[in-house]
Amino acid sequence: MTHTHTERPASATGGGPSPAGDGSDEAPLGASRAEALSALAQQHGALVTLVLVAVGASIGFDTFLTGDNLENMAVSSAFLAIVALGMTFVIITGGIDLSVGSLFALGGVLAAWGSRYGTLVALLLPLAVCGLIGLVNGLLIARARLAPFIVTLAAMLAARGILLAVTDEGSTTYLVDESSFFASLGQEKLLGVGVPVWITAALFVAGAVALRRGRFGQYVYAVGGNEDAAALMGAPVARTKIAVYTLSGLCAGLAGALNAAWLVSGVTILGTGMELEAIAAVVIGGTLLTGGFGFISGSLVGVLLLKVIQNVINQIGSLDSAYQQVVSGAFLAVVVIAQTWLGRRRRMM
Amino acid sequence: MTELALKGAPVDRARLLRLLQEYGVYAGVAVLLLVNIALTPHFLSTENFRTQAVQVAPVLIVALGMALAIGSEGVDLSVGSVMALSTSLLSLYLGYGPWVALVVAMLGGAVVGLANGSLIAFIGVQPIVATLALMVAVRGVALVLLPQLKDVRDPGMASLGTGDLFGVPYLVLIAAALALAVGFTVRRTTFGRQLLAIGDSRPAARLAGLPVRRVLITVYVIAGVLAAIAGVLATARLQASDPTSLGTLMELSAITAVVVGGTPLSGGRIRIGGTVAGAVLIQLLTATLIKHDLPPSWTQIAQAVVIVLAVYAARERGKR
């Protein structure tokens, strides 16, 4: 099903280009029409696919467009979206962070454990620990010049180890007091929309502003575009890299904490495979894995697309989670193929 | 000797680091052996050595394929899922006889390798991403084929998993034979030389007219088949198929074995002897920590530290 949809980015925007959005500063170099079109497909293909899948789902399933279902999808998307936000910065610098799934789980457990000492501890403890691990990732990558995937793979292992140590080898589950203010961060609604969704929206606005308008954002793009050139032009390459990995750790820890508030417990087995989901969302959203190009709003669309597809799979009751894995893996492969193909065409022209 | 040389010229510091990087893994194995002989009761028994060797065999076999992938300046994250796929296929086809099941399981690994290799060689997808996608999808396929744990009751499989020849378990013999075969392939065959040239510099290899695509695809097919063999052997040893957990984090152990063994992540160089020692080192480290009642959490943290230290040591000799 999704295979046919995902081929849309090329053809759909080719037929009628969607109006240019925020990320159009990369496309026009006064170059040919085809080049502009494939750049557009790269930027808005995910959005077109999302709309098509959502329309298809709402026609196919009566239960899709109900308030409960949408609300549930929005809240469960929120946690992945926060992780994907940090991952977007990392990938634009040309790096990758495989530790986010473990940090998400660790953040949740630490928040649940800390919630007995108040909301401040419940939020600050996971942010401090996960941010510190992200900082160490960044130091090893930027200062010791180790390969990002191996450093963050090791961090993934170490964070799971810390999580096991904190939970008596996974046998203890810490609960969050349901009446606490911390729990309300995950449970309460504001204007009918869950608090985690509001927090996510605020973070995405802040992230987009930082990336698009701030000097930090310029450095992030410069480092990912060409590290040596960025260094020659005076960009603080190492500091920028350290910052993005720290940011990624902070995002994963915060997402884990909010998730613990939502589930009112710190579940130790969460987060496996989340790094893949986050990377998939970022890549689907049009950010290039080679670095130097990408945008925040695309990652949000990528997350929503993944969650809508998961929702559709869940609605087809007969398909279990194993199929979900098959579809998400195949989906990522197809998107990366499309993206690589579009990127190659763009380079060749 | 080296002390004097160190004071002499800075060049010799680089040489010392290189020696450390090339032979450090053997020193590490030796140190761990000595520590265990001194501190661990009943360590020096044939039974214990057998257990350790049997446990290291699947990791080593996967690591051999990983070494080829890393040597080509790639990586294969799908190996753990391929093990799960091969155990599912093995269970499903065991009714047709163990040989049929074995061949089907290996074919499954080859198909995944072909998919990995095609994505990387023809479409130009980065190896991490291509194999990450396959890692998720293939684990899903394995679970679709065999949704839960299933006992494997087959006399052939049982003897493969627990039997031995002159006291050496079949698993160890197979792992050793595969290590020799892969080592020979890397050092003595045209394919091996082409692989290293491609890992060293793909543009240069392309300009020199090497069959880059064919070699890359072959590398990932071999990695897939080796992972499938490891899955079959692990199934034979455990006498059960468990696609949910078999091979999880195997990619990490395999990469660690390869990197600790002195194969640089930047490609162009493969050390099979070091990979064998690397796999043994990880196994000994894990066994040591467990024997001394340190919980699994510590084992994971220790492994993470070893990875980072090994990569840090390798960095000095890198391409920069």
Distance from B94 to chain A by nearest Cα, in Å? Answer: 22
Contact: B119, A336; criterion CB under 8 Å: yes
Please indicate if any CB of chain A lies within 8 Å of the CB of B141: yes
- CB contacts < 8 A (A, B): 134
Nearest-by-Cβ selection for A150 from B300, B307, B320: B307
Contact: B296, A164; criterion CB under 8 Å: yes
pLDDT digits (tens, 9 = 90+) for B115-146: 999 999 988 888 888 898 898 889 889 998 98
- B-interface mutation test, from A98, A99, A153, most B Cβ less than 10 A away: A153
Q: Which residue has the higher pLDDT, B214 or B147?
A: B214
Q: Chain B contacts of A156, Cβ < 8 Å?
A: 252
Q: With a cut of 60, say whether residue B72 has pLDDT above it.
A: yes
Q: Chain B contacts of A274, Cβ < 8 Å?
A: none
Q: Chain A contacts of B299, Cβ < 8 Å?
A: 161
| Average pLDDT of the residues of chain B | 86
- B-interface mutation test, from A149, A166, A320, most B Cβ less than 10 A away: A149
What chain A residue is nearest to B306 in terms of C-alpha separation?
A154
Residue A26 has a pLDDT of 45
- A-interface mutation test, from B132, B299, B307, most A Cβ less than 10 A away: B132
Task: Give the per-residue SS3 of chain B.
Answer: CHHHHHHHCHHHHHHHHHHHHHHHHHHHHHHHHHHHHHHCCCCCCHHHHHHHHHHHHHHHHHHHHHHHHHHCCCCCCCHHHHHHHHHHHHHHHHHHCHHHHHHHHHHHHHHHHHHHHHHHHHHCCCHHHHHHHHHHHHHHHHHHHCCCCEECCCHHHHHHHHCEECCEEHHHHHHHHHHHHHHHHHHHCHHHHHHHHHHHCHHHHHHCCCCHHHHHHHHHHHHHHHHHHHHHHHHHHHCEECCCCCCCCHHHHHHHHHHHCCCCCCCCCCCHHHHHHHHHHHHHHHHHHHHCCCCHHHHHHHHHHHHHHHHHHHHCCCCC
Rounded average pLDDT over B102-124: 94
Amino acid at A14: G
What chain B residue is nearest to A331 in terms of C-alpha separation?
B133
Contact: A330, B129; criterion CB under 8 Å: no
Rounded average pLDDT over B137-162: 86
On the 0-12 / 13-18 / 19+ scale of CB atoms within 10 A, B34 is exposed
Rounded average pLDDT over B204-229: 94
Q: With a cut of 90, say whether residue B229 has pLDDT above it.
A: yes
Residue A14 has a pLDDT of 35
Entry pTM: 0.78
Residue B280 has a pLDDT of 93
Contact: A279, B299; criterion CB under 8 Å: no
Q: Lowest-pLDDT range, B40-44, B173-177, B232-236?
A: B40-44
Residue A319 has a pLDDT of 60
Amino acid at B254: A
- For residue B39, the tally of other CB atoms under 10 A from its CB is 11
Residue A1 has a pLDDT of 35
Residue B5 has a pLDDT of 47
Residue A318 has a pLDDT of 60
- Tens of pLDDT along chain A (349 residues) come to 333 333 333 333 333 333 334 444 444 445 567 767 666 666 677 787 788 888 888 888 777 778 788 888 888 899 999 999 999 999 999 888 989 999 999 999 999 888 888 888 888 999 999 999 999 999 999 988 888 888 898 899 899 888 888 887 777 778 777 777 777 777 777 787 788 889 899 999 999 999 888 888 888 898 888 888 888 888 888 999 999 999 999 999 999 999 998 887 777 777 777 887 888 888 888 888 778 788 888 899 889 888 888 788 777 766 667 777 787 788 778 877 877 776 665 544 3
Please indicate if any CB of chain A lies within 8 Å of the CB of B143: yes
Nearest-by-Cβ selection for B136 from A320, A329, A337: A329
Q: With a cut of 90, say whether residue B230 has pLDDT above it.
A: yes
Rounded average pLDDT over B258-265: 85
What is the radius of gyration, based on Cα positions, of chain B?
20
pLDDT digits (tens, 9 = 90+) for B8-51: 455 677 777 777 767 778 888 888 888 888 887 777 788 888 88
Q: With a cut of 50, say whether residue B320 has pLDDT above it.
A: no
Rounded average pLDDT over B252-271: 86
Residue B59 has a pLDDT of 94
